[in-house]
Amino acid sequence: DSGVTQTPKHLITATGQRVTLRCSPRSGDLSVYWYQQSLDQGLQFLIQYYNGEERAKGNILERFSAQQFPDLHSELNLSSLELGDSALYFCASSVVSGGQSFFGPGTRLTVL
Amino acid sequence: EDKVVQSPLSLVVHEGDTVTLNCSYEVTNFRSLLWYKQEKKAPTFLFMLTSSGIEKKSGRLSSILDKKELFSILNITATQTGDSAVYLCAVVVAGGSYIPTFGRGTSLIVHP
């Protein structure tokens, strides 16, 4: 158990819908990263927050957004879902940027 | 663009064999290289390497970095079925946000 929690574990929804994925980092970790992992793309960095502020953006679509709240938990919002958004979404946290990251168990999103 | 390439893509061995997994990179301003093991769910941290020639070791796993030739290897000796997993390599560059760039991984299957 890494200490990073993610909910829900599984999500099945339809195209065009909107979902919210939630992540609670390890106690004391200020940095939260979101990743998308699909079979054909590997682990792709989406976005990073550090202590409530957006720090870096990767290959994140405009339909996707995220935020980190004062208690440091983070949410990833995915809207206008497409079949191709089906993937595993991981949250990871670290004390500082670029250090050892601890990954949550992931949310498996299936878009039908 | 930063690039991390892992080889081989997949490997099938028998228990007791020794395996060597490769990770080569092309990045500007290298900071560190990370190895993760991913079984069915979240990647779990194995090693972080920052200096050339210094071997990191944990039980039957060891890893070394060559910053001149821009690669790292992960060795697993006396493999066991529990070593079956995808092994991910990630490189962090200095400056900016220190976001890890992940390779596609090596899938290792160990047969009894």
pLDDT tens sequence across A22-73: 999 999 899 999 999 987 778 899 999 999 999 989 889 999 999 999 999 9
Mean pLDDT, rounded, for B61-69: 94
Q: pLDDT at residue B97 above 90?
A: no
Two tokens, residue A92: 């990871």
| Torsion region of A80: left, alpha or beta (phi above 0 gives left; psi -120 to 50 gives alpha) | left
- Minimal CA separation from A87 to chain B, in Å: 12
Is B34 in the A-facing interface, judged by CB distances under 8 Å? yes
From A19, A16, A13, A10, select the one nearest A111 (Cα to Cα): A13
- Which of the pair, A98 or A5, is modelled with greater confidence? A5
Q: Are A112 and B50 in contact (CB under 8 A)?
A: no
- B102, A90: Cβ pair inside 8 Å? no
Q: pLDDT at residue B51 above 70?
A: yes
For residue B41, list chain A residues with Cβ-Cβ distance below 8 A.
105-106
Q: Are B91 and B104 in contact (CB under 8 A)?
A: no
Q: Are B60 and B74 in contact (CB under 8 A)?
A: no
For residue A98, list chain B residues with Cβ-Cβ distance below 8 A.
31-32, 92, 94, 97-100
Of chain A, the percentage scoring pLDDT greater than 90 comes to 79
Residue A103 confidence class, pLDDT cut points 50, 70, 90: very high
Least confident of A76-90, B7-21, B92-106: B92-106
> Quick one: pLDDT at residue B41?
83
For residue A48, list chain B residues with Cβ-Cβ distance below 8 A.
97, 99
> Quick one: pLDDT at residue B98?
77
From A71, A69, A72, A108, select the one nearest A90 (Cα to Cα): A108
> Quick one: pLDDT at residue A97?
65
Is B32 in the A-facing interface, judged by CB distances under 8 Å? yes
Q: pLDDT at residue B66 above 80?
A: yes
Mean pLDDT for all residues in chain B: 93
Q: pLDDT at residue B59 above 90?
A: yes
Residue with tokens 């409530």: A52
Q: pLDDT at residue B55 above 80?
A: yes
> Quick one: pLDDT at residue B94?
80
From B84, B40, B107, select the one nearest A106 (Cα to Cα): B40
- B43, A45: Cβ pair inside 8 Å? no
Identity of the residue in A90, A98, A102 whose CB atom sits nearest the CB atom of B31: A98
- A58, B103: Cβ pair inside 8 Å? no
Q: pLDDT at residue B42 above 80?
A: yes
Two tokens, residue B97: 């946000």
